[in-house]
Chain A
Amino acid sequence: MTAAILLALAAGMLVTLSRQINGRLARDSSAMGSSFWNHLVGFAALALCAVMAGSVWPAGAAQAPPHAWIGGAIGVIFVAGGSWLIPRLGAALTGGLLIAGQMLSGVALDVIRGEGGAPLLQGAGVALILAGVVLARRR
């Protein structure tokens, strides 16, 4: 269990590390350039993993719905956005606001799809996030 906790923490840290490294590359190229390299290098690493796992084209791949294929295109804008934001807002506020945007839109999507969780907890969470976003504007 301790190992799982440490690994989950480390996974979060890897997200920040990746954004920081991409931000550094963007400084000498561009936000979109850093997103290109991020995806190319990640693809090469994962392709190696897939070959080693002997699973390059899993059985279910052909049955995946069309929208399952476009996540990568959205990710390109997401990574480029992070590289653009990090020199402007700093790593911590960039991370915090990205999380806020993800959570608020996630709740909106849950509500649209009628998949809400506990409404009170959810409402309290949204209120705290909104308060944080407003406070981010203050100095």
Chain B
Amino acid sequence: MTAPTSPSAPPLPQIAAALGTGALMTLMLLCNSAMAAAAGPLFASLTAHGVGTVFAAILLLWLRGRGSRAGLPRGRAPLWAYLGGLSGALTVVATSWTANTPLALTGTLALGLAGQVVLALVFDLTGAMGLVRRRPAGSEILAIGLICAGAALVILARRTGA
């Protein structure tokens, strides 16, 4: 086993891309919760995945038409690598259940943040699923801690104000 790599400071464009991608989540939730309000969480997630499948296929064909190799295999991924969507589908089932317990949406979101970050740290340290093994720098862990604490306050503020 090779020693975990200690990463260098990430370039600004990558940080900006991550923040922008995170902002897409807000827009996605806005749309999906409108569907959930009209037709329930299961149907909302089902249509989101259906529409997403079609949209991703169109984008892949478009990329390929432009000569990109996106979507063409570079190597052979194991079969389980195709099952990320199962995990995503399970998330919907789990959160729509916990949101109706005394945890409510606030507790579900806050605990979800904790679960996400803790497992991600374990994945980084172990190089799970064949991704790069890396030991997050101290400043990186502090940064993530600050973000989580801030996120918890924002989630709490929403409930207090509502």
Contacts and interface: CB of A to CB of B under 8 A. Distances in A.
Contact of B59 (A32, A58, A82): A32
Interface residues of A, number: 120
B51 A70 contact: yes
B115 A72 contact: no
Contacts of B27: 71, 74, 105
Q: Is the interface of A mostly helix, strand, loop or mixed?
A: helix
Interface in A86-139: 86-107, 109-110, 115-122, 124-133, 135-139
A86 B128 CA distance: 12
Contacts of B95: 8, 11
Contact of A24 (B12, B20, B49, B77): B77
Contacts of A96: 117, 120, 143-144, 147-148
Contacts of B157: 116-122, 125
Contacts, number: 471
A81 B21 contact: yes
Q: DSSP majority for the B interface?
A: helix
B87 interface: yes
A12 B28 contact: no
Contacts of A103: 22, 147, 150-151, 154
Given A40-B53, A71-B31, A128-B147, A104 B19 contact: yes
B3 interface: no
Contacts of B103: 1, 4-5, 8
A6 B47 CA distance: 28
A121 B21 contact: no
Interface of B: 7-10, 12, 14-15, 17-32, 34-35, 38-40, 42-53, 55-57, 59-60, 63, 69-78, 80-95, 97-98, 101-103, 107-108, 111-121, 123-124, 128-132, 134, 136-137, 139-154, 156-162
Interface of A: 1, 4-5, 7-25, 27-47, 49-50, 53, 55, 57-61, 63-65, 67-82, 84-107, 109-110, 115-122, 124-133, 135-139
